[in-house]
Structure 1
């Protein structure tokens, strides 16, 4: 999904030449890399208390400078991300976590914007009121939101990373953790300087997995599961593999048995031909639409596939073991989404 957004976003990058110049001018006027609001406040205090400050500076210059240096050091941290070291605020207040809003939600942090794509909308399951940020549009709009920290997912290459870095300190997740929701949560919590909160979320998540895993083993035994997406624009079916970023956790963490094709797949997903459908050997099928909801008018034409003879010949369909789920959180690998998927799966299989 992110690849389409990535392609469209590249077409907008040329606007940032004047943006970079504008930022340089603003920084030069501020006289320091700190926030504009903080500098204004500092200047106001300096003007109203000029006499007292002059006396302190005259009496002991080193004493006046030392607290400022200590304060500046306490306000920032240096972390290593995918592209090197980055200096970030020690306690960020205005955070834009592009396509990582799920993890901020888990930490009880409200992002200043939420990811949006014209084709797929927002991550509705999060229920955020934050303004939308169109990832296919102009990233310059982030300037108006005045972020003090930007966190990026794997869709951001070095070029995008450098562009976002012109707006605010930017942390890009390491490539090595992108398929592991727990590792992402731990990393985001560290970047936010919220390690304790992150540990609490992980603890609750692992407990939920352990409880669900025992119940599912009793309910399903070795019965196999396939997750399929109905691609409504192309009127095709896509089968998700065990390595899929969105749903791989239901196999690796919950212990569900993948059907043969999903287990053997190296790809994240493959499009199934109609002719191959009757050979799908899953005992249970979980199915979601690629866009919108099952009731969306624009999806009704594609849903005719569910009335086709080929679909009706699938063993799980004939057995009545097809479970419809909503796209929003099933097409997310975030930890909040995973909590919700576990609830869905328990409702499906544990009576």
Structure 2
């Protein structure tokens, strides 16, 4: 028979096992609870470095896809913050000067393109369908000239469209500043303008020494109808460069023009006794058949031959591509032409 002491020892052993078992479960429960609490804490308070990196990435992504509101000739328009595919019709010069590549190049059948830019991009026919721009998928369209509400609406259906305000149009410094702002290249625009101003100032000094107050006129000849246009000293794409930036002295007929140019009739030619005359064709180049015919006819006319500039060999044929625009690169090329021909 088992003694009472033996029974007591057995019960004590069992009780000890039970107590140890319960203690283990409690410890496991506490450990699980602590693990869950730690995980919750990590979820609530993420690693600082990781959070900072992810936040910067998120802000970068938001900036890339963000827009802003600017004011153009028609009012407020929402445009991309940093447009990458820009169609700047007849303003491609500025895009290139600011270090970008336009998605198309302005083109007309009668005038051609701005050959001096040497662009390798698709042509956009200004006389054709606006919907052709869909093929190049622009994210911003920029247009100069007199505002046209109907066309503005058509362009705006393709991409956000900015029409240059009247006080900016054909004003090179303002256009450059505006383009720099639209493209997110304000510092680059300031640098380019500073380069132009320095170039013009240096040329102005050279020209003053070379020809002093000798008078200058600029003519455009239409090869097809053989008409002549004399450019104003006050406005347009010739006057600001020649007579303001370079300080050249305009001939009296030039100062009398109120618009940016005026027709020069054959009867008026004898009055154009300027010391120096620059002339360029309205389209094509001097090797184009109709331009060769037109200039030959002009040069054979007695009225033309009797002009002082003609007699003294001071008539300079220049290329129309960079002489028929106010854009910054073209104006620098105009300055180079003038210095080359007038400073001996």
TM-score class, shorter: 0.7 to 0.9
Structure 2 segments unaligned to the other structure (5+ residues):
1-42, 45-50
Deviations 1:281-311 (A, max 9, x none): 2110001111111111222321212211111
Number of residue pairs aligned between Structure 1 and Structure 2 = 291
1:88 is aligned to 79
Q: Deviations over 1:215-251 (max 9, x none)?
A: 1111111001000111111112111111342211211
Contact 1:260 1:281 in 2 (8 A): no
Deviations 1:56-83 (A, max 9, x none): xxx99xx99xx97995466212111111
Equivalent in the alignment of 1:350: 343
Determine the C-alpha separation between the residues in 2 that align with 1:141 and 1:258.
43
In structure 1, the partner of 2:15 is none
Structure 1 ranges of 4+ moved more than 3 A: 67-74
Deviation for aligned residue 1:138? 0.2
CA offsets 1:100-140 (integer angstroms, 9 cap, x no match): 00101111211000000011111101110110000000010
Q: Residue in 1 aligned with 2:10?
A: none
**1:189-338 matched pairs, under 5 angstroms:** 189-248=180-239, 249-303=241-295, 304-338=297-331
Q: How does 1:55-70 map to 2 (within 5 A)?
A: none
Give 5+ residue unaligned stretches, structure 1. Answer: 1-58
Q: What TM-score do the two structures reach when normalised by structure 2?
A: 0.80
CA distance in 1, matches of 2:312, 2:235: 26
Equivalent position SS for 2:133: helix
Task: State the SS of the aligned residue for 2:142.
Answer: strand
**Matched position secondary structure for 2:79:** strand
- The root-mean-square deviation of aligned C-alpha atoms, in Å, is 2.2
1:34 maps to which residue? none
TM norm structure 1:
0.79
Q: Once the two structures are superposed, what CA deviation does each residue of 1:119-177 show, in whole Å capped at 9, x if it has no partner?
A: 11111011101100000000101111110111111144222112111100111111112
Supply the distance in 2 between the matched residues of 1:257 and 1:149 (Cα, whole angstroms): 41
